[in-house]
Structure 1
Amino acid sequence: MLLHVIARGKIARSPEGELVARYEKRIAWPLRLTELPESGGRLPEASSPVRNVVLDERGKALGSEDFAAILGDWRDSGIREARFNLGAADGFSSAERAEADLVLSFGAATWPHLLARAMLLEQLYRATTIIAGHPYHRA
């Protein structure tokens, strides 16, 4: 299953960008990172069937093992692509949240956009290692 991170804004050279690159290299599953402008831009065509995840502080806060279980279930049921959407500064509309298959939160706090992207990549890496039975999660 393709893990596809779609984020508004450019990460460029930054400490957060270095973290994203570090986890990008570690993830063994197919991974695609797409950066869109702050507004507008065109979403790449999805591989069907697809699941859409929206990151939003009003979403569901999942532990790493529960998040891994969802990804594993999607993969095992034939989902070809899981899209993880990080919005612009104003976030997502209620309609966009309602259309998502999962609204995911990293807690009630609002995180800086670039840090949220790095946190997402780490959690994707952690989830894939949990699914593979790798000891990273317990280390």
Structure 2
Amino acid sequence: MRLILFCVGRSKAGAEKELALRYIERANASGRAIGFAGVELRELDESRARRPNDRKADEAKAILGALPPGAELIALDEGGKLLPSREFASHLGKRRDQGAPALALVIGGADGLGADVRAAASLTLSFGPMTFPHQLVKIIAAEQIYRAMTILAGHPYHRD
């Protein structure tokens, strides 16, 4: 199963980008041994529309258009479900075992995710009720994907 981390907005060079990529590289290395085809970071351009609802609609169209066929969508949103790391790992493992071709985690733009993306999501997750900068959410998501790989592999990275 492929994992794709979709992010609206492009990363600038620097420590944040490097850290997110480091976790993705680690997840790729750990995931191959346990049946994951790879983890990919895809950055989509932010909409230039003037109104927030128009921007969210444009970005939703780009996200949904970029999804591979049969991909399950997980939306990352501050109003989503709080899920412990072990349960997130279990969700990924179950989807892998069920033969899902791909799973996409989506981070919206500055105005959030459009209604079409939220409606298409099988799961909406939150990293907490606080609002975080997109660069930090990207790092947290990449780290949680890596953590999930280590949990599924029985690696001691995650400690209870």
| TM-score, normalised with respect to structure 1 | 0.92
Aligned to 2:72, the other structure's residue is in SS state strand
List structure 1 segments (4+ residues) > 3 angstroms apart after TM superposition: 40-43
Structure 1 segment 41-120 matched on structure 2, within 5 A: 42=62, 43-48=65-70, 50-120=71-141
Measure the CA separation in 2 of the matches of 1:111 and 1:87: 12
* Distance in 1, Cα, partners of 2:141 & 2:19: 10
Task: List gaps (5 residues or longer) in structure 2.
Answer: 32-37, 48-57
Report the Cα distance in structure 2 between the residues aligned to 1:47 and 1:123, rounded to whole angstroms: 24
Partners in 1 of 2:67 and 2:109 — Cα distance? 20
Q: Displacement of 1:96 after TM fit?
A: 2.6
Contact preservation (8 Å) 2:82, 2:125? yes
Whichever of the two has the greater Rg, that structure is 2
Residue pairs, 1:117-132, within 5 angstroms? 117-132=138-153
CA RMSD after TM alignment: 1.6
Which blocks of at least 5 consecutive residues in structure 1 are unaligned?
Answer: none
Compare 18-27 and 92-101 and name the one that shifted more: 92-101
The one-letter code matched in structure 1 to 2:105 is F
Counterpart amino acid of 1:36? L
Residue matched to 1:6: 6
Equivalents in 1 of 2:68, 2:110: separation in Å? 24
Structure-2-length-normalised TM-score: 0.80
Number of equivalent positions:
138
In the alignment, what sits opposite 2:51?
none
How big is each residue's C-alpha offset from its partner over 1:85-113, in whole Å with a ceiling of 9 and x where there is no partner?
Answer: 11000101344323211101000001100
Partner of 1:37 in structure 2?
45
| Identical-pair percentage | 43
Distance 1:105 1:67 in 2: 11
Q: Using the alignment, how far apart are the partners of 2:157 and 2:67 within structure 1?
A: 33
